[in-house]
Amino acid sequence: MRAKIFDSTLRDGAQAEGISFLVGDKIKIAKALDELGVDFIEAGNPGSNQKDMEFFHVAKGLTFKHSKLVAFGSTRRCNGEASSDANLLALLEAGTDYVCIFGKSWDFHVTQIINTTLEENLLMIKDSIRFLISKGKHVFFDAEHFFDGYKSNKEYAIKALQAAEEAGAECLVLCDTNGGTFPDEMVEIIKDVKKNVHTELGIHAHNDSGMAISLSVLAVLNGVTQVQGTFLGYGERCGNANLSAIIANLELKRNVKCLPDGNIKDLTNTARVVAEISNFKLLSTLPYVGETAFAHKAGMHVDGVFKNSKSFEHISPDLVGNERKFLISEVAGKATVLAKIEKIYPNVEKNDPRLSMIIQRIKDLEYLGYQFEGADASFELIVHKTFGAFKPFFEVLDFKTIGEGPSKANLHSSAAIIKVSVEGIEEITAANGDGPVDALNEALRKAIGRFYPILNMVHLSDYKVRILDGKESATAAKTRVLIESTDGASTWSTVGVSKDIIEASFKALIDSIEYKLFKENNK
């Protein structure tokens, strides 16, 4: 059996409180989902939002291995023409092969919210789908509020599906838009729907009753083939159905394939990437992919797991690329780290003592708040340093930053002074900047750039700040800074942690520069 995974993190997920994706964020998330191998990525609503349209323009130049991009929109306006409908035209402009349009299937919504007749709504569905198909699109139809509609006026809800079927929609997606449907009633409704339409069905559940995962899983077990959701459950109100859990439930427990062979072991890593780019902490209790999903605290549980892990684990964590965790642990994460080291030094012996030195170093740093999932260059530097392959290019002897406010127009608010030493030669210099981190970045590059002009090609392409611990005085909590740098040809990411945002940024900057110089030197 096979289910098709339709991820809407970039569209319905963007309706969550606190999410605001930049075009670059969207590309990174789409790439991560494609790498994992989801079938469809719904990436925005080009007719309602200029930023979404911008993404689709950029996406035309990208290639994907597994996933098809989908543009989302609504059926045409009441009493309008499909061929001149701004929203439908925006869907064409988005340039995707697949589009997903939503239409009404709840009589109450037709007559009370969009104020039209039941007949006109059916025409809106048909016209819109026919128009899009005439332009060469594959069309999915989201039957908004389908379950509420069915409970209110069963005949009409089915008619809406039949209108979409008749017009040529390739999938009829049953949406529990308000998230209030119960699993037992949903199963009965799906059985009845299958008697009345013969097109492929999809499910789109929301979590307002806390049952979206069950609804989606049960729908598939009852013959639905497309599962819509968001990778980590992000979405309006209580969120959408959490695809990472649905995929694991179906593949590992019910033998329903959702991803290309072998890819489910990347589930946890994908979850970390999606959370990081969304600028959310990955919820630690998330099924399968959360940091505590396989963490054992009760003594009896820990003992049981040592005897046989299935005594207190429903699956083995490595199946989804996650890790078992004990409060006192000495082996956590080793396999992951070893695999990464082997990528850098393929011929290293299994019993090389430097391997355990690196693992210890990573664990110490993680304890301090570092995280290397989004900072491969920092990780690689640790490996090279432990293997003795790295020799320092420069030393920072001292820096000072000065800031002033309230800000005055056209004046930089900050300045930094830095003193570095390169092979015994000292250089002191200063720079202005917008804020102390910016000033320090400029001063550092200026000072070291005198010795290594190649650094003039390097600039930062992304800068993320995460506060790690919100207790007591929040501005003095630990800060983790992730920096992405580029020289035009390649990009690399580094990390720094400190109580002080300047120092955290500074550490990540130093790693970024050291990495570039090391790579240049070892070409």
Give the separation between CA 101 and CA 329, rounded to whole angstroms: 50
Between residues 355 and 504, which has the closer beta carbon with respect to a second copy?
Answer: 504
- 188 part of the interface to a second copy, by CB under 8 A: no
Q: Which of 54, 166, 266, 313 binds a second copy (CB under 8 A)?
A: 313
Give the separation between CA 424 and CA 169, rounded to whole angstroms: 72
**β 68-74/40-42 pair status:** parallel
Count of other CB atoms within 10 angstroms of residue 277: 22
- 18 part of the interface to a second copy, by CB under 8 A: yes
- 83 part of the interface to a second copy, by CB under 8 A: no
Burial of residue 461, with CB atoms counted within 10 A of its CB: 0-12 exposed, 13-18 middle, 19 or more buried: middle
- 327 part of the interface to a second copy, by CB under 8 A: yes
Stretch that binds a second copy, among 191-199, 257-265, 311-319, 383-391 (CB under 8 A): 311-319
Stretch that binds a second copy, among 165-173, 339-347, 353-361, 367-375 (CB under 8 A): 367-375
Binding-site string for a second copy from residue 378 to residue 417, where x marks contact by CB under 8 A and - marks none: ------------------x-xxxxxxxxxx-----xx---
Between residues 349 and 398, which has the closer beta carbon with respect to a second copy?
Answer: 398
Between residues 108 and 387, which has the closer beta carbon with respect to a second copy?
Answer: 108
Q: How many residues does the chain have?
A: 523
Instruction: Output the CA–CA distances (angstroms, integers) from residue 167 to 84, 137, 201, 304, in the order listed.
Output: 18, 13, 15, 58
Contacts of 108 (CB under 8 A, 6+ apart): 148, 149, 152
Give the separation between CA 301 and CA 324, rounded to whole angstroms: 12
Please choose, from the candidates 389, 386, 350, the residue with its C-alpha nearest in 3D space to the C-alpha of residue 365: 386
Contact criterion met (CB below 8 Å) for 472 and 445: no
Binding-site string for a second copy from residue 200 to residue 219, where x marks contact by CB under 8 A and - marks none: -------xxxxx-xxx-xx-
Q: Which of 63, 351, 410, 473 binds a second copy (CB under 8 A)?
A: 473
Stretch that binds a second copy, among 54-62, 119-127, 326-334, 335-343 (CB under 8 A): 326-334
- 513 part of the interface to a second copy, by CB under 8 A: no
Nearest distance in Å: CB 372, a second copy? 11
Contacts of 169 (CB under 8 A, 6+ apart): 129, 139, 140, 141, 199
Between residues 390 and 506, which has the closer beta carbon with respect to a second copy?
Answer: 506
- 60 part of the interface to a second copy, by CB under 8 A: no
Nearest distance in Å: CB 436, a second copy? 6
Between residues 74 and 226, which has the closer beta carbon with respect to a second copy?
Answer: 74
Between residues 138 and 340, which has the closer beta carbon with respect to a second copy?
Answer: 340
- 505 part of the interface to a second copy, by CB under 8 A: yes
Nearest distance in Å: CB 348, a second copy? 26
- 31 part of the interface to a second copy, by CB under 8 A: no
Place of tokens 């004990």: 326
- 116 part of the interface to a second copy, by CB under 8 A: no
Between residues 215 and 355, which has the closer beta carbon with respect to a second copy?
Answer: 215
- 286 part of the interface to a second copy, by CB under 8 A: yes
Strands (E) across 124-168 are located at 138-144
Count of other CB atoms within 10 angstroms of residue 287: 17
Site for a second copy in 93-112 (CB under 8 A): 108-109, 112
Q: Which two tokens stand for residue 89?
A: 């035209």
Nearest distance in Å: CB 388, a second copy? 23
Please choose, from the candidates 40, 130, 14, 15, the residue with its C-alpha nearest in 3D space to the C-alpha of residue 76: 130
- 298 part of the interface to a second copy, by CB under 8 A: yes
